[in-house]
Amino acid sequence: MTITREEFEAYVGAGKYLEKWQSIIEKKSRFAGFNIWAAIFGHGFFFYRKMYVWGMLLVALGLILHVIFGALYGAMFAVLANNGWATLQDMQSHIWLVNGIALLFQMVIAGMFANVIYYESACSAINALSEKKNDEFYLNYIKKRGGVSMLGILAGSMVNIFCYYFT
């Protein structure tokens, strides 16, 4: 089904993402540019844009990266400590670097794929609502389904804090 400009604008807001999605809509590319807001705010961006599953996946990715990078750092430290080249204080003073690298990796992934994910999310939501196309409130349904959610940011951040607190 072809989605109109009005439907996209109702879902995301007028003039927000259509230029970025133009290459995907015209089937010239599968890349829609780097989303700096998704890179900066990570899972918060996805919750804000009502993509809750993707927000939770990004939280899970962050936890997995945190564990993997922490395990790699622990293994590296064990080798260094066994050879007498490092102490526990050395490890504790540099653990922030490992977490920072994991966070940077997560930020790049979120920024690279956010626009494409948002486009796919918009298409699937609009197509799901297309059965109401003859309804006079059709564009209002799309606006309600799309848009932004401040409550989503709050809930997503609470989940993220909870997950990191218990790992």
Condensed to tens digits (0 to 9), the pLDDT of residues 86-109 reads 776 767 677 777 778 888 888 999
> Number of C-alpha atoms within 13 angstroms, CB side, residue 68?
11
Contact 99, 69 (CB under 8 A): yes
**Cα–Cα dist 106/109, whole Å:** 5
What is residue 97's predicted lDDT score, i.e. its pLDDT?
Answer: 78
Residue 113, Cα to own-chain centre: how many angstroms?
8
- pLDDT tier at 1, thresholds 50, 70, 90: low
Cβ atoms < 10 Å from Cβ of 77: 20
Percent with pLDDT over 90 in the chain: 21
Mean pLDDT of the chain: 82
Res 83 pLDDT > 90: no
**Cα–Cα dist 145/17, whole Å:** 16
Q: How confident is the model at residue 167 (pLDDT cuts 50, 70, 90)?
A: low
Q: Out of 52-56, 60-64, 105-109, which region has the weakest mean confidence (pLDDT)?
A: 60-64
Q: Which residue has the higher pLDDT, 155 or 134?
A: 155
